[in-house]
Amino acid sequence: MDQQPLLFLDVDGPLIPFGADTPYPTFEPEGDNPFLPRIDPALGAPLRSLPCELVWATAWTSDANDLVAPRLGLPRLPVVHWPKATHQDDLDEQAGLHWKTRHLVNWADGRPFAWVDDELTATDRAWVADHHPSAALLHHVDSTRGLTAQDFAALTTWLRQTT
């Protein structure tokens, strides 16, 4: 049986909205981190129902399993661990390529993937199209709203077409 597509999931923006002019709803009392209460536990069920393998692709790294996953009712997920920055990363940044892009394509190792992030650009899409042999969806999420029903509909449609 073929493996399911990967879904690389960022935290800041897709799961923790930020940047709007109005206050965000909170779903638990504020603790040490004032942003964690913004995580809507209702996002967990649609994430779990997606036909893919969820993978944390966030600067939170393993903290996503400890601090974010329990709030969403998610199991511990694989985590992309970012290598130390290199000269190539500096060149990529100068070219407008997101610092995660090259590493996620390498991590996917040829598997189809969707990537959910609030910092995606046409440069990232073009680079992935040129360097990744399988299907890929780079899905931009509005950081002021986080993941919405429309985002889940787009992801579900793409993932079902890809599996």
Q: Looking at residue 1, what is its pLDDT?
A: 42
List the domain boundaries for the chain: 6-162
Residue with tokens 């967990």: 44
Residue with tokens 């800041």: 12
Residue with tokens 């903290």: 63
Q: Looking at residue 130, what is its pLDDT?
A: 98
150: left (phi over 0), alpha (psi -120 to 50) or beta: alpha
pLDDT tens digits, residue range 28-67? 887 888 899 999 999 999 999 999 999 999 999 999 999 9
pLDDT band at 25 (very low <50, low <70, confident <90, very high): confident
Closest to 15 (Cα-Cα) out of 147, 138, 119: 147
C-alpha dist (Å) from residue 66 to 56, 70, 81: 12, 7, 15
pLDDT tens digits, residue range 102-155? 999 999 999 999 999 999 999 999 999 999 999 999 999 999 999 999 999 999
Q: Specify the 3-state DSSP secondary structure of 88.
A: helix
What's the CA gap between 41 and 47, in Å, rounded? 11
One-letter amino acid for residue 71 of the chain: R
pLDDT tens digits, residue range 81-100? 998 988 888 888 888 899 99
> Roughly what angle, to the nearest 10 degrees, separates helices 122-131 and 101-108?
30
